[in-house]
Amino acid sequence: MTRAIATHWRNLAFSGLILHEILDHPLEDETPQARLKQVGMMTVLYSMNQAHQKLTLSSIMEITALTRSGVKETVDLLVRRGMLTETIVKNSMGRGTARQFEISEALLGKLSSFGTG
């Protein structure tokens, strides 16, 4: 299979997986709007990840044009779900700290089980 086709199948599998994980497993206090924002955010984060961009609040804000609190609210729900892992790193200036995220190994493992990894 060509690389372009394999990439296309992996992207489709990821989209289906996040739809299933978020829409079929709502959190107790979550609104339908919050779930839809999470689906969109995961799509953006996966694209950023594929482009080897760091997943920090600032970089996500830059891509989405959302406010810091808007990004934080959605990303925190994805961390709570276990779809993202969070680490504290030095900020770009090296003086303070920043939150950096990665797509969780558990989610990527599920994606690999589709034969797309």
**Summary mean pLDDT of the chain:** 91
Residue 93: how many CB atoms within 10 A of its CB?
7
Q: Which residues pair with 97 in a beta bridge?
A: 90
Domains belonging to the chain, first-starting first, are: 3-116 (1.10.10.10)
Per-residue model confidence as pLDDT tens digits over 14-65: 999 999 999 999 999 999 999 999 999 999 999 999 999 999 999 999 999 9
Sheet bearing 97-103, strands edge to edge: 55-56, 97-103, 84-90
In whole angstroms, what is the distance from residue 109 CA to residue 105 CA?
A: 6
pTM of the model: 0.88
Contacts of 15 (CB under 8 A, 6+ apart): 43
**Per-residue pLDDT, 1:** 57
Contacts of 14 (CB under 8 A, 6+ apart): 46, 111, 116
